[in-house]
Homo-oligomer: A and B are copies of this chain.
Amino acid sequence: MTTIGELGEDAILALFVPRLPESDATLLGPGDDAAVLSIDGDLVVSSDVLIEGRHFRTDWSTAADIGWRAAMQNLVDIDAMGAVPTALQVTLAAPSDTEVDWVLGFADGLREACEPHGVGVVGGDLSGASEIAISVTVLGETHGLEVVTRGAAAPGDVVAVSGPLGAAVAGFALLTAGVGLDLDAVDLFRRPRPVIGAGLEAALRGATAMMDVSDGLLRDASRIARASDVGIEIESAAVPVHPAAQEAADALGVDPLPWALTGGEDHCLLATFPSGTLLPDGWTVVGDVVDGYQGIRVDGAVPEALGWDHFGA
């Protein structure tokens, strides 16, 4: 197998770039000092970094899985604003003994995630490194609509999620335990499948605050509570547990509810809506926005742990 150190940057790019998805918004794609895009309305932009051994393991996920996940968790950040994703910039740093096929598989995963949404990869950078480090910046456009931030949830609103939770972390638990590796949760850990466009639909229905659940429902709900200066009451019995999480929990003999409450990386959306709003298909009410305190309570009590800290031990 040829490594990227043997092949060299220009030759890798000559193989890599043609595998990337293209976008109608692209006026000038990869290969120059910068790419040029047509943007309708305001620009919406977000970035995520993925580090080998922290955000992914190359023995648990293929390169294409990792490319898929890197793209999808960024696309959903734009959707979570009620905007439309247009393009990605991707930087990849990898050890010189990384196989060229791995890098090309990574490009394939980016394409598989982006192409159905008309999103292109318009540029980026490649470098050597001693561990794989991926950074994705996603660009989107508002088409003249107002974005939905985290900061405008109001007492009286309902709190809802766009789909069932806990599948990705359940898959992580199965991989860690080395059991049930053929269960759906493992696939959903490798390739989360949020519905891109759910955020735009929620925005059009009048969502007052919105974000994607990347660090767990409780931690992310606490962020909306802080940004909006409100209290959020979560009713744990109302939180929809993903069937794949239930299946994994059965295999491991555990309760899946903690996964649904604190597991991230399903990338469903969490939003608040004025009471009485007819929610879009697939959404489930899980609580209420209240006044009187700032923060979250679960079944009336302050939860002991919220979720994941990216620098934690």
Q: A128 near B: Cβ within 8 Å?
A: yes
| Cβ A139 vs Cβ B43 within 8 A | yes
- For A28-53 the 0/1 string (1 means CB < 8 A from B) is 10011111111100111111111101
A312 to B150, CA, bound (A): 45
| Cβ B91 vs Cβ A135 within 8 A | yes
With a 10 A CB-CB cut-off, give which of A139, A151, A313 has the most chain B CB atoms.
A139
Across-interface contacts of A44 in B (CB, < 8 A): 34-37
List residues 60-96 of chain A with CB under 8 A from any CB of chain B: 77-78, 80-81, 83, 87, 89-93, 96
| Cβ B311 vs Cβ A47 within 8 A | no
Q: A59 near B: Cβ within 8 Å?
A: no
Shortest beta-carbon distance, A192 to chain B, in Å?
16
Across-interface contacts of A176 in B (CB, < 8 A): none
A140 to B219, CA, bound (A): 34
Chain-B contact segment, one of A1-9, A110-118, A253-261: A1-9
With a 10 A CB-CB cut-off, give which of A32, A33, A312 has the most chain B CB atoms.
A33
Q: In the complex, which of the residues B12, B45, B49, B122 contacts A34, with contact meaning CB atoms closer than 8 Å?
A: B45
Shortest beta-carbon distance, A214 to chain B, in Å?
9
- Contact A8 B49, CB 8 Å, known A33-B81, A139-B43, A227-B31: no
- Contact A125 B49, CB 8 Å, known A31-B227, A130-B131, A311-B7: yes
- Contact A12 B311, CB 8 Å, known A32-B211, A33-B81, A33-B150: yes
Across-interface contacts of A37 in B (CB, < 8 A): 42-45
Q: In the complex, which of the residues B131, B139, B210 contacts A129, with contact meaning CB atoms closer than 8 Å?
A: B131
**A residues at B contact (CB < 8 Å):** 4-5, 7-10, 12, 27-28, 31-39, 42-51, 53-55, 77-78, 80-81, 83, 87, 89-93, 96, 122-131, 133, 135, 137-140, 142, 147, 149-151, 210-212, 227, 309-313
- Given A33-B80, A51-B93: 15 more A-B contacts, CB < 8 Å: A5-B313, A7-B311, A8-B311, A9-B310, A33-B81, A34-B83, A39-B39, A39-B42, A43-B43, A45-B89, A49-B127, A49-B133, A55-B127, A91-B135, A130-B131
